[in-house]
Amino acid sequence: MLKIFIDPGHGGTDPGAMANGLLEKYLTLAISLKIKSLLSQYENVQVKLSRETDKYLSLSARAKLANAWGADYFMSIHINAGGGTGFETFIHTNASNASVANQNVIHPEILIPLGFKDRGKKRANYLVLRETKMPTILTENGFIDNASDAAKLKQTDFIDKIAQGHVNGLVKAFGLKKKAQSTQPKKQPNTPERKLSGMKPNWKDWQWKEAAEIYKKARVKGILSSDEWEKKAAAKNLTFDEIEYLNLVLNGRLL
């Protein structure tokens, strides 16, 4: 059984990089949860995240969690900042041969669907790469303070592409095989059907910064998934799908 540890960068009181109405901690969590969901389609693989909600973890705590779990591979997800553009990956300055080999496979697979500038395969003495006992990689998926990169990062379809690229890299690096499709129809719960509009949230128009402010307020007042939250969202003229999507954000269950 292959054990893959996914580390969504930042979280809680550590928002990470902030620009263009985006917060890094939300983007990394969205990508990581999607990676976990996609990997559930494959055989003989277990996935654990350092966090599945918006909470703070020290860098050492992240490495310790991966080590204690006995992970076979560690993947830390980040969004870049600092006036650049594009995609890059890092392994430790004294990386193992396995880390080097995996970076050589995974890096281009992530890059293929993104259309980002390739900033290259790099090395750094980052703590999460240094203190983990297994092969590792840290990915920087675009620049939050670059208008062009940020415009893509606001699109849910693009977040899905980033996650799929990571999964494609892992599949190729570790030879993962998809589970056989069951021919048995899934038993549906006895709940009323909820009709969706069929529209996807247009994150070019919806500001992540405002969502973050509402999230913070909802946490304080304890109304994460209450009718009060949905009424507030509806008052902002959001579609049903957008309300559903933001409820997932509020509950730390972004798909």
- Above 60 in pLDDT, residue 160? yes
Strand 45-49 relative to strand 22-23: parallel, antiparallel, unpaired? Answer: unpaired
Query: Quick check: is 140 catalytic?
Result: yes
Residue type, 244: E
Query: How does the average pLDDT of the chain come out, rounded?
Result: 85
Which residues of the chain form CATH 3.40.630.40?
2-174
Question: Within the chain, how many helices (H) and strands (E) appear?
Answer: 9, 8
Where does residue 9 rank: exposed (0-12), middle (13-18), buried (19+ CB within 10 A)? buried
pLDDT of residue 196: 43
Comparing C-alpha atoms, which of 49, 60, 32, 52 is closest to residue 160? 32
Is 65 within 8 Å of 96 (Cβ atoms)?
no
Identify the band that residue 182 occupies on the pLDDT scale cut at 50, 70 and 90: low
pTM attached to this predicted model:
0.73
Selecting among 24, 88, 109, 140, the annotated active-site residue is: 140
Identify the band that residue 37 occupies on the pLDDT scale cut at 50, 70 and 90: very high
Three-state DSSP class for 48? strand
Question: Looking at residues 39-66, what average pLDDT do you find?
Answer: 97
pLDDT of residue 222: 56
Fold observed for domain 2-174: Aminopeptidase (3.40.630)
Strand 18-19 relative to strand 87-92: parallel, antiparallel, unpaired? Answer: unpaired
pLDDT of residue 254: 43
- Above 70 in pLDDT, residue 170? yes
Comparing C-alpha atoms, which of 82, 92, 80 is closest to residue 116? 80
